[in-house]
């Protein structure tokens, strides 16, 4: 009977030769396997996939400025590719992967934030004879619709007029002073909003412009309404029939704490447009939004909206729960919401250390990383939860290890579903891959500071799933996107 040696059937061999052949096959098998793996990836030998190398050359990004890792999601095989994977780099918004997985792992996907509301007086004839207290506890999604619901529940208590004050308790977080213009000099960009225990509508105003051709104006709708801020109800309509393009710059918006104004016309060819602006005085935003919406809902306030603490011993009249964490992290990762990520980061400090401060959150994250991910791949530098930072650092090996741990965890489905799908939704909806690969990836970019990255999970043609990390720290980092896409395609073609 024949023998099978490396896939070939050897018939009629002398017994001694058969024995020698079997021994040789046993010796060669591991070597052939190692050669095969090296041909696939050549991890650590300085060889990059040709298409990735070519794209980096076109982008004028040296290979020494990137860190790359492609590894089996199960963590049972050597990496297909590991290039400078132990080098600490700035990950930009890719750091949100760490924050959101830590949140799921520590708090659980069903975790919710609560915003309790208190009263310290009797209700007689639709009048609250005392103060109303709203206590923020870090809800990242207290947007205008949910703020309306909170105030509607106040009215459901029989309160239409408040004889005292509306008191806002923001003491659960201790973030210190936040300068929204400190990072990149753009304080009116919503992505620069600072965290707050009572974060209302991301401290941002949404201005909607609707053309009214009959009256040659664009009607302005403001959400939320802001008490004490003069905002025009319309602007002139112009440019009918012209291409829309950048319509905000010619409108010359001037956004001050007590007055918004526009020096230009809104182009009719744009249809309905939306302009989201971070309020220029963020510390007063919650008070102005709550007072404005309360008045718009027909409520009356004899006193003022001010900051303070809930008196000891008061029981809440009701509590408004947030959406579950599994839903919140979809907003954080799919749309790269910075302030929501920072809210989650601070909440970890609040839950574990009883105080929502950045030092407490960093300590919580360090302890969690050491216990769950380990110390062998190097610990990240945690500055905040969003990655909008010049101090944050992580290695591709460490991030890849975390993604492998997450893949084997009970909360893997929630983390996976929160990531943008390449070519489908979120921040990657326009990022079509040539291979058509199924890829769940978090992107990150800070072009002014030379940072770009991509990390997550890629499905291979073989049916195997991989973790992928690709980060560039270089003046031309933004141009490395094509190289990262080529890496995703190469990963999928296994």
pLDDT tens-digit readout, 105-132: 999 999 999 999 999 999 999 999 999 9
255, β-bridge pairs: 260
8 Å CB contact between 285 and 258: no
Burial 119-136 (b: 16+ CB within 10 A, else e): bbeebeeebbebbbbbbb
C-alpha distances (whole Å) from 187 to each of 80, 256, 267, 335, 401 are 43, 12, 26, 20, 36
The predicted structure's pLDDT at residue 311:
97
Task: With respect to residue 91, please indicate whether it lies within any of the assigned structural domains.
Answer: yes
Q: Which helix (H) or strand (E) holds 84?
A: none
8 Å CB contact between 170 and 307: yes
Instruction: Name the domain boundary from 285, 302, 322.
Output: 322
**If pLDDT is split at 50, 70 and 90, which confidence band does 138 have?**
very high
Whether 256 shows a pLDDT value over 50: the answer reads yes
d(CA 96, CA 413): 17
User: Which of 445, 493, 487 lies closest to 56 in space, CA to CA?
Assistant: 487
C-alpha distances (whole Å) from 286 to each of 111, 116, 304, 317 are 24, 16, 13, 21
Instruction: Name the domain boundary from 289, 322, 355.
Output: 322
Higher pLDDT, 99 or 38: 99
Task: With respect to residue 6, please indicate whether it lies within any of the assigned structural domains.
Answer: no
State mean pLDDT over 84-94. Answer: 97
Angle at 68 (CA atoms; ends 427, 94), nearest 5 degrees: 35
Higher pLDDT, 294 or 378: 294
Tell me: do 341 and 486 sit in the same domain: yes
Ranges of beta strands (E only) in 21-142 are 66-72, 81-83, 114-119, 123-124, 127-128, 132-135
Total Cβ atoms within 10 A of residue 189: 17
State mean pLDDT over 208-212. Answer: 96
Tell me: do 295 and 351 sit in the same domain: no
The per-residue pLDDT for range 270-311, each reduced to its tens digit, is: 899 999 999 999 999 999 999 999 999 999 999 999 999 999
8 Å CB contact between 117 and 318: yes
Total Cβ atoms within 10 A of residue 181: 13
Tell me: do 291 and 347 sit in the same domain: no
Tell me: do 227 and 347 sit in the same domain: no
* Structure tokens that stand for 147 in this block: 């703020």
**If pLDDT is split at 50, 70 and 90, which confidence band does 353 have?**
very high
The alpha helices in 126-283, defined as continuous H runs, are: 144-156, 248-251
Whether 167 shows a pLDDT value over 60: the answer reads yes
- What average pLDDT does the structure give for the chain? 89
Tell me: do 365 and 444 sit in the same domain: yes
Total Cβ atoms within 10 A of residue 465: 17
Tell me: do 312 and 331 sit in the same domain: no
d(CA 256, CA 421): 38
State mean pLDDT over 37-64. Answer: 76
Tell me: do 368 and 379 sit in the same domain: yes
Task: With respect to residue 24, please indicate whether it lies within any of the assigned structural domains.
Answer: no
The predicted structure's pLDDT at residue 404:
97
**If pLDDT is split at 50, 70 and 90, which confidence band does 430 have?**
confident
**If pLDDT is split at 50, 70 and 90, which confidence band does 377 have?**
low
Q: How many structural domains is the chain composed of?
A: 2
**If pLDDT is split at 50, 70 and 90, which confidence band does 240 have?**
low
Whether 89 shows a pLDDT value over 90: the answer reads yes
State mean pLDDT over 4-21. Answer: 35
d(CA 7, CA 19): 17
Higher pLDDT, 17 or 387: 387
Task: With respect to residue 346, please indicate whether it lies within any of the assigned structural domains.
Answer: yes
Task: With respect to residue 444, please indicate whether it lies within any of the assigned structural domains.
Answer: yes
Which residues constitute the domain of residue 269? 116-322
Whether 453 shows a pLDDT value over 70: the answer reads yes
Count the alpha carbons within 13 Å of 153 in the hemisphere toward its beta carbon: 18
User: Which of 294, 311, 312 lies closest to 303 in space, CA to CA?
Assistant: 294
State mean pLDDT over 241-246. Answer: 70
d(CA 487, CA 475): 20
Instruction: Name the domain boundary from 260, 288, 322.
Output: 322
Task: With respect to residue 281, please indicate whether it lies within any of the assigned structural domains.
Answer: yes
The alpha helices in 10-93, defined as continuous H runs, are: 15-40, 50-59
Tell me: do 285 and 339 sit in the same domain: no
236, β-bridge pairs: 217
8 Å CB contact between 451 and 441: no
Q: Which of 16-30, 229-243, 305-319, 392-406 has the lowest mean pLDDT?
A: 16-30
Task: With respect to residue 347, please indicate whether it lies within any of the assigned structural domains.
Answer: yes
Q: Which helix (H) or strand (E) holds 278?
A: strand 273-278
8 Å CB contact between 232 and 261: yes
State mean pLDDT over 325-348. Answer: 98
What's the CATH number where 167 sits?
A: 3.50.80.20
Whether 34 shows a pLDDT value over 90: the answer reads no
User: Which of 166, 401, 472, 139 lies closest to 300 in space, CA to CA?
Assistant: 166
Whether 170 shows a pLDDT value over 80: the answer reads yes
- Which residue has tokens 């499905």? 459
Length of the chain: 494
Tell me: do 173 and 308 sit in the same domain: yes
Whether 50 shows a pLDDT value over 90: the answer reads yes
Backbone angles phi, psi at 332, to 5 degrees: -65, -50
The predicted structure's pLDDT at residue 242:
56
Burial 382-419 (b: 16+ CB within 10 A, else e): bbbbbbbbeebbbbbbbbbbbbbbbbeeebbebbeebb
State mean pLDDT over 175-199. Answer: 91
**If pLDDT is split at 50, 70 and 90, which confidence band does 431 have?**
confident
* Structure tokens that stand for 189 in this block: 């960009």
What's the CATH number where 469 sits?
A: 3.40.710.10
Backbone angles phi, psi at 300, to 5 degrees: -120, 145
Whether 493 shows a pLDDT value over 50: the answer reads yes
8 Å CB contact between 425 and 334: yes
Higher pLDDT, 163 or 13: 163
8 Å CB contact between 170 and 197: yes
* Structure tokens that stand for 163 in this block: 């004889």
């Amino acid at each position: 009977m024949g023998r099978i040696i490396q896939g070939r059937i050897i018939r009629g061999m002398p017994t001694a030769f058969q024995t020698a052949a079997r021994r040789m096959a046993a010796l060669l098998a591991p070597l052939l396997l190692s050669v095969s793996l090296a041909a696939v990836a050549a991890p650590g030998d300085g060889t990059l996939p040709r298409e990735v190398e070519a794209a980096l050359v076109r982008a004028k990004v040296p290979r020494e400025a990137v860190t790359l890792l492609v590894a089996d999601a199960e963590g049972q095989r050597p990496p297909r590719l590991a290039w400078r994977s132990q080098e600490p780099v700035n990950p930009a918004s890719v750091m949100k992967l760490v924050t959101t997985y830590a949140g799921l792992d520590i708090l659980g996907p069903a975790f919710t934030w609560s915003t309790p509301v208190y009263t310290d007086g009797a209700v007689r004839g639709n009048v609250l004879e005392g103060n109303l207290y709203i206590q923020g506890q870090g809800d990242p999604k207290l947007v205008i619709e949910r703020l309306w619901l909170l105030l509607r529940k106040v009215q459901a208590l029989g309160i239409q007029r408040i004889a005292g004050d509306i008191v806002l308790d923001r003491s659960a977080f201790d973030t210190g002073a936040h300068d929204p213009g400190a990072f990149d000099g753009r304080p009116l960009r919503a992505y620069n909003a600072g965290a707050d225990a009572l974060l209302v509508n991301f401290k941002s105003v949404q201005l909607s412009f609707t053309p009214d051709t009959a009256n040659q104006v664009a009607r302005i709708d403001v959400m939320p309404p802001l008490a004490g801020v003069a905002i025009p109800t319309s602007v002139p309509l112009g440019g009918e029939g012209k291409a829309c393009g950048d319509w905000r710059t010619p409108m010359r918006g001037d956004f001050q704490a007590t007055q918004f104004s526009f020096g230009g016309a809104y182009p009719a060819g744009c249809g309905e447009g939306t302009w989201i602006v971070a309020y220029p005085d963020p510390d007063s935003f919650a008070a102005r939004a709550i007072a404005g919406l309360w008045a718009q809902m027909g409520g009356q306030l004899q006193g003022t909206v001010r900051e303070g603490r809930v008196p000891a011993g008061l029981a809440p009249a009701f509590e408004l729960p947030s959406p579950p964490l599994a839903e919140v992290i979809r907003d954080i990762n799919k749309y790269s919401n910075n302030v929501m990520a920072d809210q989650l980061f601070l909440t970890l400090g609040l839950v574990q250390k009883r105080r929502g401060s950045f030092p407490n959150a960093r300590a919580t994250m360090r302890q969690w990383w050491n216990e769950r991910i380990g110390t062998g791949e190097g610990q990240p530098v945690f500055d905040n939860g969003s990655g909008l930072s010049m101090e944050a650092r992580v290695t591709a090996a460490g991030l890849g290890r975390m993604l492998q741990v997450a893949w084997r965890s009970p909360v893997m489905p929630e983390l996976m579903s929160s990531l943008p799908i390449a070519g489908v939704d979120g921040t990657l909806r326009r990022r079509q891959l040539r291979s058509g690969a199924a890829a769940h990836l978090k992107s990150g970019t800070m072009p002014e500071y030379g940072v770009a990255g991509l990390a997550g999970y890629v499905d291979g043609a073989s049916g195997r799933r991989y973790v992928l990390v690709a980060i560039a720290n270089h003046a031309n980092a933004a141009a490395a996107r094509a190289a990262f896409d080529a890496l995703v395609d190469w990963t999928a073609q296994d």
